Amino acid sequence: MAEYNQELDATGLNCPLPILKAKKTLASMSSGEVLYVTATDPGSVKDFESFSQQTGHELLEQKEEDGKYHFRLKCAG
């Protein structure tokens, strides 16, 4: 079983689109569910850190692999 409930592909999108799309997706999710985001914008690393602090959605994981940034966010509900 996957370690997330929904997946969002934000590759090729620049700030602030990855965050806006993640926010919209998280709004439709239940508390405790996990959203997996893939992005290519280097600025998304700082953006997702700030987004997590401001919204209460927990940033479970962030990593960079082959020029792509991967994030797992736990929905605060």
- Domains and their CATH numbers in the chain: 6-74 (3.30.110.40)
Order of all β-strands in the sheet with 68-74: 6-10, 34-39, 68-74, 58-65
pTM score, whole prediction: 0.94
Mind telling me the catalytic residues? 15
pLDDT tens per residue, range 38-65 = 999 999 999 999 999 999 999 999 999 9
Which pLDDT score, from 0 to 100, does residue 40 have?
Answer: 98
15 in helix, strand or coil? coil
